[in-house]
Amino acid sequence: MGRRLHWMLLLAFGLAEAAPPDGDFTQAECIACHGADSPEVHSYVTSKHGVLLAIGRSGRAPDCVACHGGTHASLDRDRLHHGCHQCHSPRYVASLAANGEAMIAVGHLKLREADDILEQARADFTAEELQDLLAIRARLDAYQHRLRLGVGHQSPDYQWWHGHPALDGELLRLKGAYDVLMRKRALEDKR
């Protein structure tokens, strides 16, 4: 336990890279390391499964360890779906998986649109002039991550409020920031 606690403290205080420690973990250790307010934890606790666990329905919903196996090994879709099938029908699980893949694909379309705008902006402006656009693009990545968490945890808040509408808003801000740069350039060219 000492080595694990050491790593958790180093990660929590930003003194170590985010390379995950080896070993098996409990639900409490997952939350302590990721942080109770992190998107990883918050997206789960606001999901239907997280709410069931919070109101004392353990055994009726999976926790971190039930899905992720208590390690940082890569997620195995078949293993995950096997866990889902403990309570849900194969058709229901397949429907949620297909819907989730479609949601993530739409998110990727939004990122590609942002990248196309940035590619054009890089051809027209200096790196210094692009700082606002690059900051917006970084936020788009964060919202895509939240969307993926929402899909994986079946958390409607993270699929929608912290996912697609947030991606849409940042994409609009990116377009607006690019438009401002173009207008400034046009005004300078007229002088």
- Mark whether 97 and 7 lie in a shared domain: no
Q: Choose one of 68, 88, 108: the last residue of a domain.
A: 88
List average pLDDT for each run of 10 residues in the chain, which is 191 residues long.
45 49 78 89 91 81 80 67 85 92 96 98 96 97 95 91 94 98 92 81
Domain span including residue 12: 1-88
- Mark whether 61 and 123 lie in a shared domain: no
pLDDT at 10: 42
Cα distance between residue 133 and residue 41, in whole Å: 29
- Mark whether 82 and 107 lie in a shared domain: no
Domain count, the chain: 2
Cα distance between residue 70 and residue 49, in whole Å: 17
Q: Choose one of 62, 88, 114: the last residue of a domain.
A: 88
Cα angle value 10/15/19 (rounded, 5°): 70
| This prediction's pTM | 0.82
